[in-house]
Structure 1
Amino acid sequence: MTTASTTRLHVEVHPADATQPAVVMLHGIGGSAESCAPLAEHLAAGGVATAAVDAPGYGRSADPAATGDVVNDVIDVLDNISSDRPVVILGTSWGGVIAMSVALRRPDRVAGLILADSTRGSGTSVEKAAAMRSRITELREHGASVVAAARATRLTAPEADPEVTEQVRRSMSSVRVPGFTAAAEFMAATDLGPQLTDIGCPTLVVVGEHDVITGVDESRLLAERIPNAQFRIIANAGHVAIQEQPADVAALVVEFLKELS
């Protein structure tokens, strides 16, 4: 594994077969590039090049600027790590919303999308937007460790490996207020529903069968509205399917890449 940096973002790179598109991985609102490590390792073992990005204000990336645009930040990453060819973007939850936004803004940079336990955004209703923004207040008042202890078990399947749940808790405990605030505001302001039919690249939607955060129905909706999207349910997984069942998700990713070629 190597590391790379753009102007603002830290990226964990696993180089591999240069004959197929790299897979750029975007984490969820409570994660970081480290959350993508188990899947990245499985993909690297199969010869798939990956790049896991710390979003602004997460992991080793700088805090977001007041006028920051995470979608443009990710496009900058794509230009830096794969300037000569489009990439596949794999986004979990919030990361999937960013991935779709990139594909809509710069379709020339995206060869395919893999949306894991994702959503249209939290701007689909006033209530959902308010609930997302209330999490900013919760984080500021109680701190990341308390929030993580209360929420981590909801992100994994009922029979999840305790070590995976502990990894999720540790990751959430490291969330910083500036990064989370920008992420939550992005989600609260976003409803990609009307634009899903404009996504023109091949798309694979995967979701854990026990996902109670964004839910199976939301992922199924994405797959139904994005033209020709594939839909797969990951057994024995919750909202963090890429961490709970990385081998199963990796197999689907490899199959998807073969279809692209």
Structure 2
Amino acid sequence: MTGAPAVRSRPTAGVHVEEAGGHGPLLLCLHGIGSSSAAFAPQLAELSAYARVVAWDAPGYGRSADSEDPLTLDDFADTAAALIRERGTNAHVLGVSWGGVIALRLAVRHPELVASLIVADSSPGSGTEAAKATGMRQRAAELAELGPRAFAEGRGPRLVSAGAPPELVRKVVDTMAASVRLPGYAYAAESMAAADLRGELATIAAPTLVLCGDQDHVTGVEAGQAIAGAIHKTAYVIVKDAGHLANQEQPGAFNAWVLAHLRITDRIPERPAAAPDPQQEL
């Protein structure tokens, strides 16, 4: 979007974030298990004209530091909570896939910090079924055996629809290859394998938007429906012509739904903020 503020990079207590926009409510973006803050480039570019957008590299991912100790789902949620507290406010929390599971747990553990939730292509966790939990736990061994590049080339193309442009597939693969490593990926996989949030969802009071790509064959529309059906204040949206990464594959439609949600739950401008005039700063 023309006039959107430039993205600024800064590490915070070992957690690297990409941040754009200096006004409006805080929108914290939590990526999927095979990704990083790079997955939110379309949101950083467009939504930063309306909100202060912060996207993390989860601990042990991308440019964030590795943890010396194993991390649980609660640890990831508490780290996200610390990022919000450091900014002295609450946040609208956007989580994709694994990031959505973290966002849901964050809303349970720290409800005062969560103004609303946007949960995309996610689930209540892999612990809802024994086979899913086992498969999730096996991923760390697969990464160790193949290495990040081959691991990404095998898994990345499954995350988008069959009709996704080749350049998007390459970007997804490249992002995964550059982001995942051990032991951080193993901690994330175990956090998913151990998670079954079905009993907690009804306690979430934050208004919630649930989105899912109509061609998501990773978590699928049923998992999104399970989340939406359990949370009291919720809306459920199917994103047409999108796989598991709807925010990247159909960013225009995805961002429009997020903006509509933010306008309902917070005061944001109807029009994007104007970029500063460089001549006035001289």
Q: TM-score, normalised by structure 2?
A: 0.88
**2: distance between equivalents of 1:115 and 1:65?**
29
2:167 matched residue in structure 1: 163
Cα separation, 1, equivalents of 2:34 and 2:67: 16
SS in 2 for 1:194: coil
TM-score normalised by L of structure 1: 0.95
Counterpart pick for 1:210 among 215, 221, 229:
215
**1:10 aligned partner:** 16
Partner Cα separation in structure 2 for residue 47 and residue 128 of structure 1:
38
1:76 partnered with 2:79: no
2:213 touches 2:243 (CA, 8 Å); kept in 1?
yes
| Structure 1 residue ranges without an equivalent (≥5) | none
Structure-1 residue corresponding to 2:90:
86
Structure 1 SS opposite 2:256: helix
Determine the C-alpha separation between the residues in 2 that align with 1:6 and 1:244. 29
> Could you say which structure has the larger radius of gyration?
2
Which residue is 2:4 aligned to?
Answer: none
Aligned-pair identity (%): 41
Aligned-pair CA distance for 1:76: 0.8
Partners of 1:209 and 1:43 lie apart in 2 by 23
Deviations 1:28-76 (CA, angstroms, capped at 9, x unpaired):
00000011112221212x4222000110111110012315421111111
Distance in 1 of aligned mates of 2:233 and 2:81 = 24
Among candidates 100, 107, 111, match of residue 103 of structure 1: 107
Equivalent in 39, 59, 68 of residue 43 of structure 2? 39
Assess if the C-alpha contact under 8 Å between 1:42 and 1:247 holds in 2.
no
Unaligned runs of 5+ in 2: 1-6, 267-282
**Partner Cα separation in structure 2 for residue 67 and residue 28 of structure 1:** 18
Q: Helix, strand or coil for the counterpart of 1:120? A: coil
Note if 1:254 corresponds to 2:259. yes
Q: What residue is the counterpart of 1:58 in the other structure?
A: 61
Residue 221 of structure 1: aligned partner = 226
Q: Is the 8 A contact 2:70 2:187 kept in 1?
A: no
Shift of 1:151: 1.6
Deviations 1:129-169 (A, max 9, x none): 11100111111111121121112211101111211111111
In the alignment, is the contact (CA less than 8 A) between 1:42 and 1:246 conserved in 2? no
Q: Which runs of 4+ in 1 moved over 3 A?
A: none
Distance in 2 separating the partners of 1:3 and 1:149: 27
**d(CA) in 1 for partners of 2:231 and 2:260?**
19
- C-alpha contact 2:19 2:55 (8 A) present in aligned 1: yes
Asked if the contact 1:89/1:99 (under 8 Å) is kept, the reply is: yes
Root-mean-square deviation (Å): 1.1
Q: CA–CA distance in 2 between the matches of 1:205 and 1:16?
A: 26
Change (3 A) 1:67 1:147: closer
What amino acid does structure 2 have at the position aligned with 1:61?
A: S
Q: How many residues align?
A: 256
> How far has the Cα of 1:8 moved from its partner?
2.3
Q: Which residue pairs with 2:181 in the alignment?
A: 176
